[in-house]
Structure 1
Amino acid sequence: MSKPRRISHSILLSTLLVTASFATENLGIIGIDSTTIDDRFTSKQTEVSNTATISGETVDEAHIENIQQVLNRIPGITTEVTGGDKFKLHIRGVENQRYMGEKPGVAVVIDGVPVFERTGSVNIDLDNIESIKVVKGGASYLFGEDALSGAVIITTKKGAKNSYSAVGVEAGSFDYRKYLLRGGYATDTYNFYVQGSQRTSDSFWENGGYDNKYLNSKFQYYIDDTSDITAGIELSDRNKDSHGTVKGVTEAETNPTSAYNGTGDRDYARKFDVQLAKYFLTYAKTINDSSNLLVNVYQYNDNTNFISGPIKYDTSGAKVTADDAYGTNNDYFQIQRGIKSELRTSGETFATMLGLDLRDNYYENKTNILQSYCTRMGATACSNPNNIKTAGTITGNDETDENVYALYGELKYALSNDLVMTGNARYDRITMDYDDTLNSIQIKKTFNVGSYRLGTTYALTPSSSLYANVSTGFRTPTVSQLFAGDIDPTNTKVESNHALKPETSYNYEIGLRGNTSWFDYDMAVFMIDRKDYIMANVGQYASTDPANPLYTATQYDNIGGMRNKGFELSLNTDRKETFFFDVAYSFIDAKFTQYDNFNLTLGNSYGTYVSTLTNPASQYTIEHYNLTGNVVPRVPKHTLNLSVGYNYNEHLLLTTELNAKSNYYADELNRIEIAGQATLNLLANYTAKIYGYRFEAFARIDNVLDKFYYNTARASGDANSDGIFDAEDLSITVNPGRVYTAGLSVKF
């Protein structure tokens, strides 16, 4: 009977062959580092893109409530926490201007499964992470749709080393609680574990509490000395209410918890009930000394229910102030199924990878009116039945079948002992079949999209290398962007555009990586140019203009452009040393290169349109702007994460962390600037092994100095209807301030 250690070595034989020694006499065996399925290929020595990896041990040691707290250690990454451990992430400032739940411009893959949630956010069980790998730059050459600025590949724990048992409990500020129970077992031929966890909190914000439950299991079977099969399942049940937003800087000061009193802001969407299920099966086979095969089959289910659209006026036209007065119930269901396979070869001169990606996705969306209301203000307007929405009315019932057929590959060729060229290419055929049963509409659309990467690495010394690449990413139009007028034929304010093209990003990058006797380093300069950017003709989240024939209806078109350029630096030392540190710094200059049309609404958009505003409480007007050259909002130019650790002895680890970012604009007009901020965090970990049991206790303090700042700040119009667009129109989520967390766990 084979030993797991020997089998594991056999399965990873190609990984060992991948490692290229940058000795000037001989480059050695080269291989493919890229994969969309697993994390077993982790060499950076011939990688032509800027990448970063965070180990599961680092995540476990951080004792975080959300993944933002570790992703801060990667330069160029920004995240928006939407409650608990759920987050939306951005790379190099791409899509920071979006905030209504759209896709983030980043491909997210968990255990080979391309994950896309209805709200644009991502969730992951933080207690089950083996590694997080970030690939920056256009990454559609591997991952396809939406990899405009890169990809995040998360692998969960598996293998004999993770077949341990454990119990754990944590507690913290705002009645935060975490409970974990894990059981595992390993033999010479198989290993498995089952883990359940729960995170719950009352939250700093009014109605901001959450309750997240996870159940994970993974089974790995060693078929023979050269192959294994892994089956995994992850179930989650997540309940979250409000994000905790307030309206304007005054309320942020006086009512930071967003306690609702009938006059404050209400989140656009609330009361999320999300049930997720992920199933996958991965087969790995070492064919011979220079080739291997990976095959992954998966299914990902997302059933999301939430309410949206705060009601402004009742059926008589009177103002509504009730906290739970929302107009729409949303019931969304999706199934993502697929199969991926990758075949790799390695050699002294060249290496190859050929991949196949087949997806069968189904999306179903149903909406209905929760409470009767009027879409305008005043009794006169509400006497018109066209302005009344009646409770129980079905407003949406549609489904979309999406199929993806993609072939991709990579060729790596050694031109000399020091110079390696890498080429990637991918071809996607994407078909969408839309069926609106409410309006008896059936629409089909097909896109054929190619993407690529071309790069090189050059060994300057045995311990340093120069790398450069150009790569692309793409995003196809959504059904609503393509067929808005067809889907809602009675709405004269929206128009279809069947001629929409996919958006493309072009990433240009040059970097230097290496190591010294003291630290590892990686630095890169980059530029991401976005072409054929899909934008509404009236601007992002803006309004139509009744007085201008060009903007009386909203239509999406390839009329926008952006350019993000900057510099990134990471320095990392050995965490086993008595003192160690990590530095992540980024500079990003992001601007609109084409943004000709933006309609700013001033006054009450539910009131009467006038050309000259005299009573903003009951009237509104539209101002037109050209925002070409403006800075992309919510992208700080400078961000810095500095982490310093001290191993006091073999049991006690002390860590301090500084997070800082510079000023940024909250709006596309660049009128409202948010001050920069810096926060300090402290963490103490104590571990001890007693009678074969590994005990770990920790205490963590975030925002030690109790700094007041905003987690998010955004604005796109006159939210308080006073006829002026200023800081009082911001939608703000205030940081909770100083937060304490402590816990105890036992592994055996």
Structure 2
Amino acid sequence: MKNFIQIILLGVITIHAAHSQNTIKGVVTDAKTTNGIPFASVYFPQLEKGTETDSNGSFTIENLPDGTYKLVVSSVGFTTFTSNVKTGLTNQLSISLNPSAIEMEEVIVSTPFHKLQSDNVMKVERASISKLKAEGALTLAEGLNNISGVESVSTGVGIGKPVIRGLSGNRVLVYTQGIRLENQQFGDEHGLGINDAGIESVEVIKGPASLLYGSDALGGVLYLNPERFANSNSSEGDINLNYYTNTLGYSTNGGFKTSGDKFKFLIRGTYSSHADYKTGASERVTNTRFNEVDLKSGIGYQSGNFISEIRYNLNKSKLGIPEEVGLQSKDRTPLEPYQEITSHIFSSKSSLFFDNSSLDVILGYTYNDRQEFEEHHHHEEEEVPGEEEHLEEEHGEEAALNMDLNTFNYNIRYNLPKLGNFETIIGVQGMYQTNKNFGEEILIPDATTSDFGLLATSHYHLEKFDFQFGIRYDIRSIDTDAHGEITDEHYIAAIDKNFNSFNASFGTKINFSDHIDLRLNIASGFRAPNLAELTSNGVHHGTNRYEIGNSNLNNERNLQTDFTLEYKNQHFEAFFDGFYNKINDYIFLEPNGETLDDNPVFNYVQEDAKLFGGETGFHLHPHPIDWLHFESSFEIVFGEQNTGEYLPLIPASSLTNTFRVEFDQDKKVVKNSYGFITLKNVFDQNNASQFETPTNSYVLLNLGLGGKISLGRQELNLNLSVNNLLDESYYSHLSRLKRDGIYNIGRNINFGINMPF
């Protein structure tokens, strides 16, 4: 397999075939008035190349390879246009956009055929990061809570991990820069570990995506799209500042990008700092403070039929692990216990285009260093006063837990030539990962994990029907070292295990009329047990449990059916999304009634389970007052074992109503202004698992406003948002601090400013 990959890479690097340099010109107009539309986006997603129209609606794109590629044209206030364009035959385009109050669509990248959401067989939620930030989210994990069907298991405000329809941890796969993000996500208190700066949007696949991504995508995928490079022969930059009153926190980032005919470059740096957050009861939660440094950069190259880009992300964070409401402080330096996490993410994406097909090669390497510092323990029988402080000053305190995770992954896909209405992709995908321990405590042993998968998927298009289907085979091997002496009660035996699985999916999209669409998807998924589930034998201090793994665990396997019905016209949208998810051999922790090392003992066990529920809602923007929007959505999830016991970490049902006004007027001083008010009702969660407690209902009121202000030649984008306006004291069912009687965050006011240059 290694030799095969080397041959593929060598071919991508060395191929230098003759090719033409094509230019496409055109004009984008309003279908009603025939006037040119200025500043419309004209973009080839496959080529990652595009431009904006000028003040007359005209555009020119040069240096295009031979072939047929999808062109996407979009502008605020108009329906998104998409069409396949053959570059060798087309030199002049005339494109008309129909006015619409519906938000413009974007191409979905997380699914294989890169279609608009309205053309996708699988429904995928998409949200821009700028919109989530404008709603006042402190972190990316918190912002994801505003996406229907997505919640977050939180430890304060600095640590959060995504939950998709009741599934979390290693059941939800996160992709960034086109590669899987690996950061020891098995732990409840191990957060997302990535900053929102330099990320353009997030896509959410709510259901098994093992066909596309292999193990760990049993519950769904969060796909983070990185910031685009600048359009050809242009440069741009910006500075962003945000202040949060509740945590006295601030986040600042600045970026610059430039592109020529062939080379592209971008860079963005970020620094964030927050003190302890304050609850609705006006108490600061001790040690919820955190600091973060983030750097993202990229370089791209395009010449003829070959494009390539390399991206790098450095993220360093220091996060307090809260345990109580104690000393009231506005300090920003975390106390013990705390985490220090450093991640390096390298990715390379190259594409080679032929006349009717293409080859994509994505390579990734991530290095994650996780250190956890606990209250200092003295090991010497006699201590000299001041000696401890002197040693720590000279050598620094050693981490109690220190794990290094190195991951190399690859994804090679060949887009076959079209056969009539058939589009087909075949590919290989895999991962090689090592985990090493350097601290005095061991949560999981030193281990090597390798994945290899083969996939094939096809899309068939008819005028009123679309079908998508595929099959995949995966194998995962896990080889661990023994830890400790065999007579030690904390001994961890070595294991050498292989897990394999076949998975398939089938989906259809039916256009009953110009306004009604139906989607039906049936997909299987799997997840191999992780190292913690297989090998744990000790106290997990982050959860205050003594956890015992089981080396005989089987794959988790699921079969999920998704049903979506949508109605849409120019001024009204409504949807209903329902799902039923049957999981065989669901892995979970169960208390056995014993205690070890003064902690309750929990065993990893398996039982068949099921989850079902969905989301429904509507969006009204009445004519002729298109600037007024009313959105409402309701989401509900049930999760239970076959024994009748409830599953843990199932989010409470909620109803969210939002009034929003948007004005796209082109005034001299204020442009593109908006305002919103949101009322979120979260209902009682009485279906708690055996080591959870029920959670009472609560209501959160949020509001915000913003717009673009012109000061001479300088434009500023300003936003103001207030979350939990009424300073409600409440517990989220997914808060890990709930068991300690610690409320979630109280009122928080966010001031944001963006200054482009």
Shift of 1:428: 1.0
Aligned equivalent of 2:653:
637
SS in 1 for 2:321: coil
Shift of 1:682: 1.6
Q: In 2, Cα distance between the equivalents of 1:692 and 1:8? A: 32
Aligned equivalent of 1:169:
241
Q: Letter of the aligned partner of 1:58 in structure 2? A: K
Aligned equivalent of 2:55:
none
In structure 2, relative to structure 1, the CA distance for the partners of 1:570 and 1:115 (3 Å cut) is farther
Shift of 1:215: 0.8
Q: 1:133 aligns with which of 203, 218, 222?
A: 203
Aligned equivalent of 1:214:
294
Paired residues of 1:133 and 1:152 also in contact (CA < 8 A): yes
Paired residues for 1:87-486 under 5 Å: 87-95=160-168, 103-118=169-184, 119=187, 120-161=190-231, 164-173=236-245, 174-204=247-277, 205-224=285-304, 226-243=305-322, 245-246=323-324, 257-259=325-327, 270-288=337-355, 290-307=356-373, 329-345=400-416, 346=418, 348-368=420-440, 398-414=445-461, 417-436=463-482, 438-439=484-485, 442-483=494-535
In structure 2, relative to structure 1, the CA distance for the partners of 1:580 and 1:227 (3 Å cut) is farther
Q: In 2, Cα distance between the equivalents of 1:178 and 1:293? A: 40
Q: 2:641 aligns with which of 587, 592, 596?
A: 592
Paired residues of 2:121 and 2:507 also in contact (CA < 8 A): yes
Q: State the Cα deviation string for residues 28-83 of structure 1 (Å, max 9, x = none).
A: 989xx998778981423453333111134434544532235543343211113445
Aligned residue pair count:
621
Shift of 1:109: 0.6
SS in 1 for 2:171: coil
Paired residues of 1:681 and 1:701 also in contact (CA < 8 A): yes
Q: 2:714 aligns with which of 693, 716, 728?
A: 693
SS in 2 for 1:15: strand
Q: In 2, Cα distance between the equivalents of 1:61 and 1:39? A: 30
Which sits farther off after the overlay, 187-196 or 669-678? 669-678
Q: State the Cα deviation string for residues 121-179 of structure 1 (Å, max 9, x = none).
A: 21332221222111111111111112222111111102224952112322221321122
Q: In 2, Cα distance between the equivalents of 1:510 and 1:165? A: 43
Q: Does 1:527 align with 2:580?
A: yes
Q: Does 1:746 align with 2:755?
A: yes
Q: In 2, Cα distance between the equivalents of 1:18 and 1:526? A: 33
Paired residues of 1:406 and 1:426 also in contact (CA < 8 A): yes
Q: 1:515 aligns with which of 551, 563, 568?
A: 568
Paired residues of 1:584 and 1:642 also in contact (CA < 8 A): no
Shift of 1:561: 2.5
State the TM-score, normalized to the length of structure 1: 0.74
Paired residues of 2:265 and 2:299 also in contact (CA < 8 A): yes
Paired residues of 2:398 and 2:439 also in contact (CA < 8 A): no
SS in 1 for 2:197: helix
Q: Letter of the aligned partner of 2:653 in structure 1? A: K
Q: In 2, Cα distance between the equivalents of 1:509 and 1:696? A: 39
Shift of 1:357: 0.7
SS in 1 for 2:70: helix
Which sits farther off after the overlay, 230-239 or 397-406? 397-406
Q: Letter of the aligned partner of 1:402 in structure 2? A: T
Paired residues of 2:639 and 2:650 also in contact (CA < 8 A): no
Paired residues of 2:558 and 2:584 also in contact (CA < 8 A): yes
Q: In 1, Cα distance between the equivalents of 2:398 and 2:263? A: 52
In structure 2, relative to structure 1, the CA distance for the partners of 1:107 and 1:580 (3 Å cut) is same
Aligned equivalent of 2:684:
663
Aligned equivalent of 2:542:
none
Aligned equivalent of 1:373:
none
Paired residues of 1:633 and 1:664 also in contact (CA < 8 A): no
Shift of 1:443: 3.0
Shift of 1:545: 8.3
Structure 1 unaligned segments of length 5 or more: list them. 20-26, 96-102, 247-256, 262-266, 316-325, 369-393, 488-492, 547-551, 595-627, 716-727
Q: State the Cα deviation string for residues 612-666 of structure 1 (Å, max 9, x = none).
A: xxxxxxxxxxxxxxxx244655421334353523338442221222222111148
In structure 2, relative to structure 1, the CA distance for the partners of 1:51 and 1:671 (3 Å cut) is closer
Aligned equivalent of 1:502:
555
Q: In 2, Cα distance between the equivalents of 1:591 and 1:124? A: 31
Paired residues of 1:711 and 1:733 also in contact (CA < 8 A): no
Q: In 1, Cα distance between the equivalents of 2:307 and 2:402? A: 39
Paired residues of 2:651 and 2:733 also in contact (CA < 8 A): no
Which sits farther off after the overlay, 298-307 or 705-714? 705-714
Paired residues of 2:443 and 2:532 also in contact (CA < 8 A): no
Paired residues of 1:511 and 1:523 also in contact (CA < 8 A): yes
In structure 2, relative to structure 1, the CA distance for the partners of 1:8 and 1:338 (3 Å cut) is farther
Paired residues of 2:547 and 2:604 also in contact (CA < 8 A): no
In structure 2, relative to structure 1, the CA distance for the partners of 1:52 and 1:643 (3 Å cut) is farther
Q: Letter of the aligned partner of 1:580 in structure 2? A: H
In structure 2, relative to structure 1, the CA distance for the partners of 1:40 and 1:505 (3 Å cut) is closer
Paired residues for 1:72-83 under 5 Å: 72-83=145-156
Shift of 1:563: 1.5
Q: In 2, Cα distance between the equivalents of 1:467 and 1:475? A: 25
Q: In 1, Cα distance between the equivalents of 2:513 and 2:204? A: 25
SS in 2 for 1:127: coil
Aligned equivalent of 1:563:
610
Shift of 1:361: 0.9
Q: In 2, Cα distance between the equivalents of 1:12 and 1:216? A: 32
Shift of 1:585: 2.1
Q: State the Cα deviation string for residues 454-489 of structure 1 (Å, max 9, x = none).
A: 1212220134321111112211123343345799xx
Q: Letter of the aligned partner of 2:571 in structure 1? A: W
Paired residues of 2:645 and 2:690 also in contact (CA < 8 A): no
Q: In 2, Cα distance between the equivalents of 1:129 and 1:421? A: 31
Q: In 1, Cα distance between the equivalents of 2:73 and 2:716? A: 37
Shift of 1:422: 1.6
Q: In 2, Cα distance between the equivalents of 1:65 and 1:451? A: 38
Q: Letter of the aligned partner of 2:291 in structure 1? A: D
In structure 2, relative to structure 1, the CA distance for the partners of 1:41 and 1:495 (3 Å cut) is closer
Q: Letter of the aligned partner of 2:533 in structure 1? A: Q
State the TM-score, normalized to the length of structure 2: 0.73
Q: What is the CA RMSD across the aligned residues, in angstroms?
A: 4.1
Q: In 2, Cα distance between the equivalents of 1:743 and 1:533? A: 43
